[in-house]
Amino acid sequence: MPAKSKRPTARELLFGDLWEFDPAPESAPAHIESRYGLFIGGRMVEPKSKRHFNSISPRDGSVLSRIAHANAADVDAAYRAAAAAFRPWSRLPGHERGKYLFRIARLLQDRAREFAVAESLDGGKPIRESRDFDLPVAAAHFFYHAGWADKLAYVAPGRSLAPLGVIGQVIPWNFPLLMLAWKIAPALATGNTVVIKPAETTSITAMKFASILQDAGLPPGVVNIVTGAGDTGAAVVNHPLAAKIAFTGSTEVGKSIQHALAGTGKRLTLELGGKAANIVFDDAPPDQAVEGIINGIFFNQGHVCCAGSRLLVQEDIADEIVARLKRRMAVLRVGDPLDKNTDVGAINSKEQLARIRSLVKSGVDEGAVIHQCACRLPAKGYYFPPTLFTGVTQSQRIAREEIFGPVLSILTFRTPDEAVEKANNTAYGLSAGVWTDKGSRILMMASRLKAGVVWANTYNKFDPSSPFGGYKESGFGREGGKHGLLDYALLVPR
């Protein structure tokens, strides 16, 4: 019997230090105010709490601005402004609401470079990600939902969509402006008004967005922005005027919100944590798969709920994939988020950096084999080198808990059944990836994986027309597409 032919091993090209990049800093101004109030009733107001806190740039630890800390009275004022604006806004013809959404989208495009710089300064993500992903996709969500605003009678056969009322929204720190667009655009398109709270560590682009709303001429009170910490978020969630709460964040906080709203009659959608499996079969194109793995875990420093943080590789190609990954990781550039050459920017906060370090230490202590990039980290700011673990077992913390950082855990499998069993052996169910040359295998895996989104031979691809959301402890409800519209509306007979 002839011996099975082996896949040729890729050769490594060595250029030494001849290909070092010169710094390419982004020079556009971010236009960040030294102090921000709250956006209530169409204008900036001082907080009734008379409290502010520092917004720290993870890039270098510097203070970017002073952000208002809203208390319960501030949140109440925002809800009352939204309630007063609800009736006239919801009665506007859909094509008129759509005009405002179109204006917002175009204004975001006009100021995209400014907002991208602010997003990178405030959140730590590389400027090329803010510029090429966050801003274009945020604008696309407003464009997409603007198109739906006058077509709500066609979303569900025999039914029309009616608004719910005032929507309370709480968004996370990993995609501040994009999550804002995901939440606000469908709410406004369906005729609702909004009270939204951005994350404490990344409030700046939300407050800058208030000027977009003013320039677009949005009626006062339709969107209100309150900033603060956990107590502010709790006030948004528990306010009696809220018809629905939309939350994106950690599973722990999501559980507490679900408990608090039980029996209140408020609608709820939750987009929570994840521990996605990125599954590579032995017939997958290796170069394409490696790029997808890199994008899946190191995009936005791993600060992604659907990050491919568990890599499942078929056993007979595991050594080759790991070797290719290490070579690819060696050329990742870690550093200043405002440098256009940077691949991996700053960790969002000192607290998140401490959590990543703790979980990485647990992986070493539990016997996994660590590999980190030999990169020079900036002296100031919060940075962590891209990291992978081999020899990982299902019981280890790094395979079970969401690290939310640039850390990849690698496991192996022999058969498709084993891959499915390992992939589904998690409390989460937000996303997964499948890499194979066989279309039938992709369809089989997609039907068996317990994940809200399954990517085939790609990863981290998003579109406003495609619904996004999870199962199990990754939450419920969908954002984007027709499914996302339905979560912001009542179905009424025509």
User: What is the C-alpha to C-alpha distance for residues 52 and 6, in angstroms, rounded to an integer?
Assistant: 63
422 and 277 in contact (C-beta within 8 Å)?
yes
170 and 197 in contact (C-beta within 8 Å)?
yes
Compute the CA torsion angle 199, 131, 455, 106 (nearest 10 deg): 90
**DSSP assignment letter at 132:** I
Q: Which two tokens stand for residue 429?
A: 């169910």
**Strands ordered across the beta sheet of 369-372:** 369-372, 387-390, 407-413, 310-314, 277-280, 431-435, 453-456
Beta pairing partners, 245: 168, 268
Q: Catalytic amino acids? A: 271, 305
Beta pairing partners, 492: 160
Q: Which two tokens stand for residue 289?
A: 């798969």
User: What is the C-alpha to C-alpha distance for residues 70 and 302, in angstroms, rounded to an integer?
Assistant: 30
* Strands 387-390 and 369-372, sheet pairing: antiparallel
User: What is the C-alpha to C-alpha distance for residues 485 and 101, in angstroms, rounded to an integer?
Assistant: 15
- How many Cβ atoms are within 10 Å of 41's Cβ, its own excluded? 17
- Residue 263, CB half-sphere, CA atoms under 13 Å: how many? 2
**Strands ordered across the beta sheet of 63-68:** 35-36, 63-68, 52-56
- How many Cβ atoms are within 10 Å of 464's Cβ, its own excluded? 25
User: What is the C-alpha to C-alpha distance for residues 390 and 367, in angstroms, rounded to an integer?
Assistant: 10
* Closest C-alpha among 450, 444, 457, 445 to residue 431: 450
Who's near 127: CB < 8 A, 6+ residues apart? 26, 116, 117, 120, 337, 338, 339, 340, 342
User: What is the C-alpha to C-alpha distance for residues 409 and 195, in angstroms, rounded to an integer?
Assistant: 38
SS3 314: strand
End-to-end CA distance of the chain: 70
